Amino acid sequence: MKQENPLSRIPRDDLDEALFNSLRSVHKFELAKVAKFGLNYEAIFLLQFLRRHSPAKMSEIAEEMNIPISTATRVVDRVETRGLISRKKDRKDKRIILVSLKPKGEKIVREVENHTFEIILKNLAEFNEDKIKSFIETAIYMEKILRV
């Protein structure tokens, strides 16, 4: 027997509105970080990616950001100009460029992530434990939910 999808009981317009509101909230939250730290969204994302995957090949950066290598190169150029990252050729294969965080980039990405954490922590104080757990579960499974 096929199980009913729980979403089938939610009116489509309500779901569309909830998803748009979520997207709008994340968009505005990210724009606030852009304004606060003086970096564009791509630069912030690149720094956060490199904090987790440094050094990274240019091809890995392009794939993660879902942009062509030429665009990834321009993003890396802009962030490198600010002294936040460095790049060097791989010792084994000189055709491969590796991008790494510099101490200044590490400092900024920590500030960005601390800022995010503090805002969310403060705002979650308004919610009960069950809602906080639901939020965290949703965040954990977001990639799987959206299949990205």
The pLDDT value recorded for residue 5 is: 76
The pLDDT value recorded for residue 3 is: 75
The pLDDT value recorded for residue 103 is: 97
Give the relative orientation of helices 69-81 and 58-65 as an angle to the nearest 10 degrees: 110
CA angle 133, 139, 142 (to 5 degrees): 135
Domain 39-146 has CATH 1.10.10.10: yes
What's the number of CA atoms in the CB half-sphere (13 Å) around residue 144? 5
* Beta-sheet strand order (sheet of 97-101): 56-57, 97-101, 85-89
pLDDT along the chain (148 residues), means of 10: 75 91 94 94 96 96 96 96 95 92 97 96 94 92 86
Structural tokens at position 80: 């490198």
Domain ranges of the chain: 39-146
Q: Is the pTM of this model over 0.75?
A: yes
The pLDDT value recorded for residue 115 is: 96
DSSP letter assigned to residue 115 = H
* DSSP character string of 59-100: HHHHHHHTS-HHHHHHHHHHHHHTTSEEEEE-SS-TT-EEEE
